[in-house]
Structure 1
Amino acid sequence: MSKILMLVGDFVEDYEAMVPLQILQMVGHTVDIVCPDKVAGDSVATAIHDFEGQQTYSEKRGHNFPVTAAFAEAKADDYDALVLPGGRSPEYLAIDSRVIELVQQFAAADKPIAATCHAPLILAAAKVVEGKRCQAYPTVRPELEAAGATWDTPSAGLDSAITDGKLVTAPAWPANANWMRAFLEVLGTKIS
């Protein structure tokens, strides 16, 4: 099974971190969770985003999500794939040069990358989406297009996912099942 790196930060979206982690572990993958400036035993605060009828999502404080490895020691060579959950953390992770370098290493090695919600901000900042079809939370569209990606309009329920080569993107947590199913296919994981 694959060894996967999940990159998070404070106020990562709770469902977009916890549910994919559990899905990947359930089928036998090993997942290390890292956050800049944190080590194993630390945690990040999560946010729960909900769609309650307003023009955008609402946000509530979620759980503490455990960090299981030191970000400073994470290298793409040690992992088979990368998962980037969304939420608010990608807004500041996208301006961290160490995060950008790590994402570029995964892309340069042509390793599978899964990104959802606001996480494609990191991909755009890393300049690894040029010529790729992508989805994300709709407000991320300008950054993706400016980085050379082709916008693939998400379903009305935000439950779609798109695969382009080894890149799997989705618009938000309602897509978790489709997003992870597509990612598992890219990983070559056999599920029934």
Structure 2
Amino acid sequence: MARVLILTGDAAEELDSMYPVFRLREGGHEAVVTAPTTRPVKLVVHDFEPDCDAYTEKPGHLLPVDVALADVVPEDYDALVIPGGRAPEYLRTNPDVARIVRHFFDRGLPVGTICHGPQVPAALGLLNGRTTAAFPPLRTDLEQAGAVVVDAPDVVDGTMVSCRGWPDLPEWSRAFMAVLDKATVQE
């Protein structure tokens, strides 16, 4: 059983956040949610509607938080997941987020990013030379960070697994669970 840290915050996309938590638990792993504080985070629901040029945002569920970012000991975890939504936009500037995310990348541990999640490692210079998927409008930003952006539901680059957004979660989940299972068997 792996311990997987879910790094999220207010305005994270509901499916991007909750689907991995449930899938990891279903797979026998421990999913531990971290955010800036231990109060429940306010998730949002993003949808694509025909009369809107961008995605729409509605209030979502609350997601309980297990540990505050400042209290995370990265060595206690086997993998990391960064859900999308608007949370990565502000989390990427948090020094504890940098400390945590660098730990997983520096050690080649499994990292999953969903939708806007790649904004975090991109801001830290960790996607330079890496292949990733992401919410399509992020392509230019990620390419500026040195990433190769692929339009696919389950991009695997070593131990990093990414996708474009919540519609890709079944494919992303299968790929991430395979990388996680392989990594935990090798330990």
TM range, smaller chain: over 0.9
Deviation at 1:97, TM superposition (A): 2.1
Matches within 5 A, 1:151-162: 151-154=149-152, 160-162=153-155
Find the aligned partners of 2:86 and 2:23 in 1 and give their Cα distance: 22
Matches within 5 A, 1:5-16: 5-16=5-16
Question: What amino acid does structure 1 have at the position aligned with 2:41?
Answer: V
- With 94-103 and 121-130 compared, the bigger mean Cα shift is at 94-103
SS at 1:34's partner residue? Answer: strand
Contact 1:100 1:125 in 2 (8 A): no
Query: Which residue does the alignment assign to 1:157?
Result: none
Query: Which residue does the alignment assign to 2:110?
Result: 112
Give the one of 159, 183, 188 matched to 2:181.
Answer: 188
Query: Which residue does the alignment assign to 1:100?
Result: 98
Matches within 5 A, 1:10-89: 10-36=10-36, 38-39=37-38, 42-53=39-50, 54-89=52-87
Find the aligned partners of 2:72 and 2:173 in 1 and give their Cα distance: 23
Contact 2:151 2:164 in 1 (8 A): no
Find the aligned partners of 1:2 and 1:111 in 2 and give their Cα distance: 11
Deviation at 1:113, TM superposition (A): 0.2
> Gaps spanning 5+ residues in structure 2: where?
183-187
Contact 2:69 2:97 in 1 (8 A): no
Deviation at 1:5, TM superposition (A): 0.3
Deviation at 1:87, TM superposition (A): 0.3
Contact 2:3 2:30 in 1 (8 A): yes
Question: What amino acid does structure 2 have at the position aligned with 1:56?
Answer: A
Question: What amino acid does structure 2 have at the position aligned with 1:19?
Answer: Y
SS at 2:112's partner residue? Answer: strand
Contact 1:145 1:151 in 2 (8 A): yes
SS at 1:188's partner residue? Answer: helix
Deviation at 1:175, TM superposition (A): 0.7
Asked if 1:175 corresponds to 2:168, the answer is yes
Find the aligned partners of 2:140 and 2:79 in 1 and give their Cα distance: 26
How many residues align structurally? Answer: 182
Query: Which residue does the alignment assign to 2:133?
Result: 135
> Gaps spanning 5+ residues in structure 1: where?
155-159
Contact 2:80 2:112 in 1 (8 A): yes
Find the aligned partners of 2:73 and 2:101 in 1 and give their Cα distance: 10
Deviation at 1:17, TM superposition (A): 0.6
Deviation at 1:8, TM superposition (A): 0.5
Asked if 1:125 corresponds to 2:118, the answer is no
Find the aligned partners of 2:116 and 2:103 in 1 and give their Cα distance: 20
TM-score (norm 2): 0.93
TM-score (norm 1): 0.91
